[in-house]
């Protein structure tokens, strides 16, 4: 609540008005001025994750007990605060604590053979709106890749997962979130056009994929029905819109933008386009496709029938919800091995370690199991366990990993059970998504993220969602297949499924 008096907050050198009593976290999220820096609120601004650190000078509320518990004495001395717990009391200035660094975001994904039939005449664009990252490509009518760009999803300022962002929408921030993602898309289109030496208005068609919530946030559709049982989505897309209708100012207003079909509220267009890129429905093999992220979407192709489900894994493998978790950028531990009984870590950018990303997290847990510093129940002998000074994992971090890996593993086994398929019958397991691209499969099996029986059948697809979106851009006749698969898929509900409940508890063990 504010008292009506307006003060000035300087954010990265730009001044914006604020009401006395306004939380810095909400102010920074709505302004979007630090969206390209290290600022984010993975927990949705509830004061749990401690990652929305900013340096503050001027008049703000006193330190809270939570901040004193999270921040070091050195940070407190430097004026570091948690934005979500700090209120404005007068004029103040805010700067990011550190440069975010260039993130390692996977944009590549192989395209299977298909007949070129472009939906555009000059230049076409494809965009994948991931919960954590954004990736885009620019093509000419001959199918040549003209440019490719990636960046972090600025919606992370409202939380690392879709639930937090939907809560933010219901709290009145839907318009700001839509503006943020549209601005990011415009900026990416401008960067690609500049690289290709063209104007953005020469882009005459676009395909945008993403999970159901991401497409709702982009288009401004109401997310409220997806926040509670029976988790219904008012719109499942598989349709064209005009660029002007969804606020993409970089394109001409009449430019056609195709939004691929979603199968359900939590089985989105991203898995639909990944399915297209995987090509599993064009084979007689029994195969599973899984995108491991905050929302683990998975599909099974068996004897001509497609089955699908999704499970809320949480953001642990995206670097959120972990005490020293971060995205895959400079300073992140991304690989861990055991050498002569000791943990040996690799750090992105050959920099000093400052945190750990998803692939490093899986490796670290596997190594702790190997050295018996961690037992099969998840008990950590020494809490915290040092991975690469000062980066460590706490007992709570281990529990977050257990919850996430159990959800993914149990979801896969429940999907198979519902279709009457034994794990041994699965001939191929396709892993899509950025996190999966950097995953050490042996370690993923060792911690129980993936079924042991499938460890030697894994195929890494990279960003299959973007690859499939590119296919829809370059071959318009594939839209019918994509839409048909989304309509005909047999959904497997997990919420009240006794098999999932049993598997979830069993897979909690390492």
Residue 51's nearest CA partner among 150, 164, 137, 204 is 164
The structure tokens listed for 474 are 């370059």
pLDDT at position 99: 46
Residue 458 and residue 447: Cα distance in Å, rounded?
A: 16
Whether 11 and 20 have beta carbons less than 8 Å apart is answered as no
Q: What is the pLDDT of residues 184-234, one digit of tens each?
A: 999 999 999 999 999 999 999 999 999 999 999 999 999 999 999 889 999
pLDDT in tens, 383-423: 999 999 999 999 999 999 999 999 999 999 999 999 999 99
Instruction: To the nearest 10°, report the CA torsion of 497, 490, 483, 221.
Output: -30
- Mapped onto helix, strand or coil, the DSSP state of residue 180 is helix
pLDDT of 246 strictly over 70:
yes
Instruction: Give the number of other CB atoms < 10 A from CB of residue 69.
Output: 8
Q: Among 5-19, 37-51, 79-93, 189-203, whose mean pLDDT is lowest?
A: 37-51
Cα 98 to its chain centre, rounded Å, is 22
**CA-to-CA distance for 143 and 123, rounded, in angstroms?**
10
Query: Residue 52 above 60 pLDDT?
Result: yes
Q: Which residues contact 407 (CB under 8 A, 6 or more apart)?
A: 296, 311, 312, 313, 314, 504
CATH superfamily placement of domain 123-278 = Domain of unknown function (DUF4445) (3.30.420.480)
Fold of 6-96: Ubiquitin-like (UB roll) (3.10.20)
pTM greater than 0.85 (yes/no) = no
| Average pLDDT over the chain, rounded to an integer | 91
Lowest mean pLDDT among 19-33, 273-287, 483-497: 19-33
Residue 147 to residue 198: CA distance in whole angstroms:
11
- Between CA 374 and CA 446 the distance in angstroms is 13
The strand order across the sheet containing 237-242 reads 145-152, 133-139, 123-129, 203-210, 256-261, 237-242
pLDDT, one tens digit per residue, over 305-318 is 999 999 988 778 87
Q: Where are the domains of the chain?
A: 6-96, 123-278, 324-393
Helix ranges (H only) for 87-171 are: 162-168
The stretch 433-443 carries a mean pLDDT of 85
Tokens 């990736």 correspond to 135
What's the pLDDT at 107? 54
Angle at which helices 479-488 and 464-474 pack, to 10 degrees?
Answer: 130
- The CA-atom distances, in angstroms, between 75 and each of 11, 42, 56, 67, 363 are 19, 20, 11, 10, 29
């Amino acid at each position: 609540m504010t008292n009506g008096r307006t003060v000035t907050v300087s954010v990265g050198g730009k001044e914006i008005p604020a009401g006395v009593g306004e939380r810095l976290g909400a102010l920074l999220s709505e302004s979007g001025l630090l969206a390209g820096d290290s600022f984010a609120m993975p927990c949705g601004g509830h004061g749990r994750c401690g990652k929305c650190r900013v340096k503050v000078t001027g008049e703000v509320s006193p330190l809270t007990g939570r901040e004193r518990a999270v921040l070091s004495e050195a940070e407190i001395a430097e004026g570091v605060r948690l934005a979500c717990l700090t209120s404005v009391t007068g004029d103040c200035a805010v700067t990011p604590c550190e440069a975010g660094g260039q993130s390692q975001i996977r944009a590549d994904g192989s395209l299977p053979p298909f007949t070129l039939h472009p939906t555009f005449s000059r230049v076409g664009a494809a965009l994948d709106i991931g919960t954590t990252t954004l990736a885009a490509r620019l093509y000419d009518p001959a199918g040549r890749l003209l440019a490719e760009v990636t960046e972090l999803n600025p919606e992370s300022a409202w939380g690392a997962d879709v639930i937090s962002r939907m809560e933010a929408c219901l709290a009145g921030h839907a318009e700001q979130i839509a503006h943020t993602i549209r601005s990011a898309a415009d900026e990416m289109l401008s960067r690609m056009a500049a690289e290709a030496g063209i104007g953005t208005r020469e882009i005459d068609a676009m395909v945008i994929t993403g999970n159901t919530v991401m497409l709702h946030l982009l288009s401004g559709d109401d997310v409220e029905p997806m926040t509670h049982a029976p988790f219904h989505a008012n719109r499942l897309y598989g349709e064209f819109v005009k660029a002007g209708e969804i606020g993409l100012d970089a394109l001409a207003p009449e430019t056609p933008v195709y939004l691929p079909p979603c199968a359900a509220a939590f089985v989105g267009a991203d898995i639909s386009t990944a399915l297209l890129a995987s090509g599993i429905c064009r084979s007689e093999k029994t195969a599973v496709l899984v995108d491991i992220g905050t929302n683990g979407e998975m599909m099974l192709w068996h004897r001509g029938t497609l089955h699908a489900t999704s499970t809320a894994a949480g953001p642990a493998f995206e670097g959120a919800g972990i005490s020293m978790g971060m995205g895959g950028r400079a300073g992140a531990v991304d690989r861990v091995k055991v050498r002569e009984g000791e943990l040996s870590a690799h750090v992105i950018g050959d920099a000093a370690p400052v945190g750990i990303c998803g692939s490093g997290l899986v490796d670290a847990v596997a190594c702790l199991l190997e050295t018996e510093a961690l037992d099969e129940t998840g008990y950590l002998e020494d809490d915290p366990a040092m991975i690469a000074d000062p980066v460590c994992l706490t007992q709570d971090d281990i529990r977050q990993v257990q919850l996430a890996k159990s959800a993914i593993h149990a979801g896969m086994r429940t999907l198979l059970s519902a279709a009457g398929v034994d794990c041994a019958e699965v001939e191929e397991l396709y892993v899509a998504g950025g996190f999966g691209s950097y995953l050490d499969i042996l370690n993923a099996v060792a911690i129980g993220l993936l079924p042991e029986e499938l460890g030697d059948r894994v195929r890494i697809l990279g960003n299959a969602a973007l690859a499939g979106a590119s296919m829809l851009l370059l071959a318009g006749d594939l839209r019918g297949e994509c839409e048909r698969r989304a309509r005909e898929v047999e959904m497997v509900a997990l919420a009240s499924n006794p098999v999932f409940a049993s598997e979830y508890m069993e897979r909690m063990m390492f």
